[in-house]
């Protein structure tokens, strides 16, 4: 199907010799900050969004909450938004209804993983990692591909589930045959060895996508040198940065008995006004409220 403009822009950036970089976001403000920083795309993270609501990443939030947030992220900045659909909110029939709504919201790509619904976080110690049959997930990909607009990224959790490289390669190849534009391969090993081995074995039918949360020692340059990866996602750094900054600021205010000590270390009100588009609003006031 024909790409929408944001999808076409993202597809053009999937360069296996210079992978595109996506930063996670959990609200329009974090998406705008990521775009302003220079990231190529925004990762509409289900983990970050659920964390921002202080609930587990286990399909507890509704699709409408996630969809509205993806739309809002796209409205405040120009970088392509990649929507994290987890397991696709159900089976292939559900996907056939869900993806058109995300397409209408202007997302550049949707990502679905081949785990059972409801999902369990891939990185949670002792989490439940059950995969759906390969043929069932191919049906979800086909349903998503039938919708004009967003790219379809298929995420296999075969390595996370302990099924090994051969099964991960088998699933990735089958998902490309079903129409996936890229394959996201995930690992929770603390070293990049498992992922690097997979990348080297990947036959290259489609670009790979990596989320190096568990193995941060793998640099962007190291990934580019593999010649197989088109996109690197910084999967949860916005919410972690926000949590750390707020925890530190709140602790210092209570310890100091006042706010004066933190003023030099936090954003100014003027900085926030700028992010809100205050100057644009004032210009509209002058133009229309006479």
**Domains plus CATH for the chain?**
5-242 (3.20.20.60)
pLDDT score for 87: 94
Q: Is 127 helix (H, G, I), strand (E, B) or coil?
A: coil
pLDDT-based confidence at residue 73 (cuts at 50, 70, 90): very high
**Marked catalytic residue, from 57, 86, 114, 181:** 57
Query: Residue ranges of the alpha helices (H) in 105-236?
Result: 134-145, 164-177, 193-201, 220-226
- pTM (2 d.p.): 0.94
Q: How far apart are CA 47 and CA 59, in angstroms?
A: 10
C-alpha span between 53 and 48 (Å, rounded): 9
Is the predicted pLDDT of residue 200 greater than 70, yes or no?
A: yes
Of 217, 220, 238, 236, nearest to 15 by C-alpha is 220
Whether 57 sits among the annotated catalytic residues: the reply is yes
CA distance linking residue 168 with residue 285, whole number of Å? 56
Residue 1 confidence (pLDDT) above 70: no
Instruction: Give the pLDDT band of residue 116 (cuts 50, 70, 90).
Output: very high
* 173 and 195 Cβ atoms separated by less than 8 Å: no
Mean pLDDT confidence for 158-186? 97
Give, to the nearest 10 degrees, the angle between helix 278-288 and helix 269-276.
60
Over the stretch 126-147, which tens digit does the pLDDT of each residue have? 665 799 999 999 999 999 999 9
Average pLDDT over residues 142-167: 96
Percent of the residues in the chain that have a pLDDT greater than 90, as a whole number:
91
Q: Residues 97-110: pLDDT tens digits?
A: 999 999 999 999 99
pLDDT band at 205 (very low <50, low <70, confident <90, very high): confident
- Cα–Cα distance between 183 and 112 in angstroms, integer? 10
| pLDDT tens by residue, 3-43 | 799 999 999 999 999 999 999 999 999 999 999 999 999 99
> Please, are residues 208 and 232 in contact by the beta-carbon 8 Å criterion?
no
pLDDT average, residue stretch 251-274: 97
């Amino acid at each position: 199907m024909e790409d929408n403009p944001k999808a076409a822009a993202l597809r053009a950036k999937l360069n296996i010799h210079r992978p595109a970089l996506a930063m996670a976001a959990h609200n329009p403000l974090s998406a705008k900050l990521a775009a302003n920083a220079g990231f190529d795309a925004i990762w509409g993270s289900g983990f970050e969004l659920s964390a921002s609501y202080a609930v587990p990443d286990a399909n507890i939030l509704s699709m409408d909450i996630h969809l509205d947030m993806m739309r809002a992220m796209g409205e405040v900045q120009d970088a392509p938004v990649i929507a994290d659909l987890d397991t696709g909110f159900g089976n292939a029939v559900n996907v056939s209804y869900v993806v058109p709504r995300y397409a209408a919201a202007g997302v550049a790509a949707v990502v679905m993983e081949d785990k059972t619904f409801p999902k369990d976080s891939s990185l949670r110690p002792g989490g439940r990692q059950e995969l759906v049959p390969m043929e069932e997930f191919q049906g979800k990909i086909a349903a998503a591909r039938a919708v004009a607009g967003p790219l379809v990224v298929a995420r296999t959790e075969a390595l996370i589930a302990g099924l090994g490289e051969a099964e991960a390669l088998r699933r990735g190849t089958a998902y490309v045959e079903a129409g996936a534009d890229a394959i996201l391969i995930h690992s929770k090993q603390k070293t990049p060895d498992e992922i690097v081995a997979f990348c080297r074995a990947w036959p290259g039918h489609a670009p790979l996508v990596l989320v190096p949360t568990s193995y941060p020692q793998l640099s962007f340059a190291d990934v580019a040198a593999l010649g197989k990866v088109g996109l690197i996602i910084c999967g949860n750094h916005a919410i972690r940065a926000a949590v750390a900054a707020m925890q530190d600021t709140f602790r210092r205010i209570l310890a100091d008995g006042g706010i004066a000590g933190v003023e030099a270390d936090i954003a100014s009100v003027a900085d926030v006004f700028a992010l809100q588009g205050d100057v644009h609003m004032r210009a509209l006031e002058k133009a229309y409220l006479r």
